[in-house]
Amino acid sequence: MRPPDVSLVVPVRDEAGNIGPLVAEIRDRLDAAGLRWELFVVDDGSTDGSADEIGACESDSRVQGIRHDSGLGKSAALMSGFARCRGDAVVMLDGDGQDDPAEIPRMLQMLGRNQAGPGLVNGWKTPRLDPWHKTLPSRVFNLLVGWVTGLRLHDHNCGLKAFRGDVARGLHLATDMHRFIPVLVALRGERVVEVPVRHRPRVRGASKYGVSRFFRGLFDLARVALLVPAGGLATQRRDSRGRLRRSVYWILAAAALGAVLGRIGAVASIDRLALEKRFIEEARARDPAADPGAVRDDVERRRRLLRPFLSGNDRSRWLTVRALVERGTFAIDELVIEPGWDTIDAVVHPDASGRLRLYSSKPPLLAVLCAGPYWLLHRITGWTLGDHPFEMGRLLLVLYALVPLAVTMLVVFRLVDCIGTSDWGRLWAAALAACGTLLTTFAVAFTNHLPAAACTAVSCWLLYRIRCHGLRSWGSFAAAGFCAALAAACELPALAWLAALAVILVRCDPRRTVAAALPAALLVAAAALGTNLVAHGTMAPPYAHRGAAPQPATRQPGPGPGESWNPADWYDYAIRLPDGRLLESYWRSPRGVDRGEPSRAVYAWHVLVGHHGIFSLTPAWLLVVPGLALLAARRRHGAAGEAELARAIGLVSLVVIAFYLARPQADRNYGGMTSGFRWAFWLAPLWVAATVPAADVLARSRLGRAVALLLLGLSVVSVANATWNPWSMPWIQQWLIHVGWLPA
């Protein structure tokens, strides 16, 4: 006969009245989860009606009773049950009804079915619904066990535990050693994880707890301490991971060598420090009597050769942040006249008084959110981004870029750990998330891509927990809706991800989706539309006021000499700046890549596999498609949820890429002068998660690992190549120009 998915062992002594309801509840929960199961109820010398109740339950052939004529103890009862178990997984739970069988499918999902997963998923009763005279000694006991053994858990002796089948069958429990099952499992070199589980009050029968049991436990702890190696169980677990360490070395080597190779390919004699020094020397030669400090300050202020704001794209956002804090307005025309603060990413329309004003072309919500930290720093220091660009700019970049990148990595690591089935595949995907995506390249610039990626990662992790782990808290639904909506506010095509997430949430729990996720998403939508309304007098963002082609016929003259603006195209303007200079829009006659690719086919080629190619610049993404297919075809606990996630990621990716390939010529520009196809950067967390199953398959052979390492290393080349500035040509495009295959 085919072994069951899970075998359950329930030790009981004098639990008449609790056994029948518990067995019925186990049957309902596991049948609803689609699990094949068997249950062993071990009667450890009961003197009440427990034996008769067990016999009545045996009418279900999946339930079997085991009888001890006298009380041998819980450890012996568990050993009798474990010896009969045939399942791939084994679950033990107490017979008093305080352990909730509804937790079992979630614990099995965490357990997995392979040797790379944990050997034991240990329950943690929280909140614990026992009287203080039971909970206080238990807390002291758990602290002592953690201190003595090095294995720190909240609830070593929780009655609800899930094991891999081989681990449970390999245990040898001497008298009263059931209290130390997590320690004994860890001594075998297996990984032990802890998960909060629901605890229920006892409704029938009497507790078997006595104070003397606490003191017996202390004596048994001394016995266990003799088994623990010097340095504790953490040391033993490290020593048992020698092969894992060697795998990590190879992965890190691939990442490091790829980074060095990328930097070698980008070495160039660009030295603005030397150029600035030359200008200072020339100024001093012209006026030897001038104060050297004043000369340096003048050159630095007038020329701004050195600045932490690397392109017109990110300066556009910086300008809005500055304008909000320093001027109390969204208009940026009073700031672009400062040296080093020029930008082409701007639009013009009249303000409430009818005066033409210059604004950032970026949706204002992100700038409004980021203005808060700048306002605080400005109030504390008195500095501005204009007079202290490096000090203020770098401090703020930590918040605007580094923190979202860190959030993205940490959340993706957790997602990878759940999806993966091998240590090697998980570590490979973690290395990809850490240093193999172009998000890392852009962590030195103020863009919308990193916040969008962080929000996408968090919402995906929450969706996975909700769909695959059974998480049903109101807060998790609200946070998932909020983060997915905020990702869409930063990257409009992320509306596709928001829609996919909403569909899955509705299927999981319509009530929490409507009452928690939807209001949270609507809050973000209201903020996005409201900031547009305040900034521009319309709820549509600035890029919605752009024509597909120049429309000179709709231009209107402005109030000043030479001024004009276009109600049909806010990017078509000429505005008189406060310093008297007439600024004409760059977008009236864009140059180079900004003219757009005339051929849609050529554009599609370069977006996918050409000089800005998703797959050519980050070859690791070649594993996304097979990874999604493997994830969708999985057959394990929680596989239905993983299959839904795989379909969602695949569909969203196709929709987003198709959206950009269908754009008119003016928008077919790869994201401007940039080191990658940046419109797709926010998808990186989803794609890293999608690669994990394929990486697990490649991890099975030496050739497969070599292929995966090569893909990772080449991906890091593209990340590291833009050493000086992420707003530069991709290395593939530079090479094609060098060999004459593309015009310079």
pLDDT value of position 275 = 59
Tell which wins on pLDDT, 165 or 522: 522
Residue 273 has pLDDT above 60, yes or no: no
pLDDT value of position 592 = 86
Local confidence band at 213 (pLDDT 50, 70, 90 cut-offs): low
Which are the contacts of 272, defined by CB distance < 8 A and separation ≥ 6?
A: 305, 306
pLDDT value of position 269 = 46
In terms of DSSP H, where are the helices of 469-509?
474-490, 495-508
Residue 270 has pLDDT above 50, yes or no: no
How far is the C-alpha of 485 from the C-alpha of 377, rounded, in Å?
28
Residue 656 has pLDDT above 60, yes or no: yes
Establish whether the linkage from the previous residue to 127 is cis, with ω within 30° of 0: yes
Span 517-545, average pLDDT: 96
The first and second tokens of residue 695, run together, are 């990486």
The first and second tokens of residue 326, run together, are 């320093």
Are residues 707 and 698 in contact, defined by beta-carbon separation less than 8 angstroms? Answer: yes
By the 10 Å C-beta count (0-12 exposed, 13-18 middle, 19+ buried), 128 is classed as middle
Tell which wins on pLDDT, 437 or 267: 437
Percent of the chain with pLDDT over 70: 88
Residue 111 has pLDDT above 80, yes or no: yes
pLDDT value of position 235 = 45
Span 456-461, average pLDDT: 97
Q: φ, ψ for residue 529 (rounded to 5)?
A: -70, -35
How far is the C-alpha of 537 from the C-alpha of 459, rounded, in Å?
31
Local confidence band at 129 (pLDDT 50, 70, 90 cut-offs): low
pLDDT value of position 271 = 47
The first and second tokens of residue 382, run together, are 């008195």
User: How many Cβ atoms are within 10 Å of 738's Cβ, its own excluded?
Assistant: 10
The first and second tokens of residue 512, run together, are 């929490």
Lowest model confidence (mean pLDDT) among 85-94, 141-150, 203-212, 468-477: 203-212
Q: Report helix, strand or coil for 310.
A: coil
Please report which helix (H) or strand (E) contains residue 259, including its range.
helix 242-266
How far is the C-alpha of 348 from the C-alpha of 536, rounded, in Å?
10
How far is the C-alpha of 240 from the C-alpha of 235, rounded, in Å?
9
Assign residue 17 a region (left: φ > 0; alpha: ψ between -120 and 50; beta: otherwise): left
Per-domain residue ranges for the chain? Answer: 6-239, 277-306, 307-387+546-588, 402-537+595-738
Largest pairwise CA distance in the chain: 108
Which are the contacts of 123, defined by CB distance < 8 A and separation ≥ 6?
A: 99, 103, 107, 155, 158, 159, 160, 161, 194, 195, 196, 197
Residue 121 has pLDDT above 60, yes or no: yes
Residue 554 has pLDDT above 50, yes or no: yes
pLDDT value of position 236 = 46
State pLDDT tens for residues 575-584. Answer: 999 999 999 9
Local confidence band at 381 (pLDDT 50, 70, 90 cut-offs): very high
> Comparing C-alpha atoms, which of 376, 437, 420 is closest to residue 618?
437
pLDDT value of position 148 = 81
Please state the pTM of the whole predicted model: 0.72
How far is the C-alpha of 626 from the C-alpha of 607, rounded, in Å?
20
> Comparing C-alpha atoms, which of 478, 347, 422 is closest to residue 699?
422
Lowest model confidence (mean pLDDT) among 160-174, 547-561, 724-738: 547-561
pLDDT value of position 304 = 53
The first and second tokens of residue 187, run together, are 């001594």
Query: Which CATH number does 6-239 carry?
Result: 3.90.550.10
How far is the C-alpha of 235 from the C-alpha of 113, rounded, in Å?
25
User: Which residue type occupies 17?
Assistant: G
Are residues 78 and 173 in contact, defined by beta-carbon separation less than 8 angstroms? Answer: yes
How far is the C-alpha of 39 from the C-alpha of 6, rounded, in Å?
9
> Comparing C-alpha atoms, which of 456, 460, 459 is closest to residue 448?
456
pLDDT value of position 591 = 86
User: Which residue type occupies 144?
Assistant: L
Residue 207 has pLDDT above 90, yes or no: no
Are residues 44 and 62 in contact, defined by beta-carbon separation less than 8 angstroms? Answer: no
Mean pLDDT of the chain: 87
State pLDDT tens for residues 300-334. Answer: 555 555 567 878 899 999 999 999 999 999 999 99
Residue 128 has pLDDT above 80, yes or no: no
Are residues 528 and 489 in contact, defined by beta-carbon separation less than 8 angstroms? Answer: yes
pLDDT value of position 705 = 94
State pLDDT tens for residues 28-41. Answer: 999 998 999 999 99
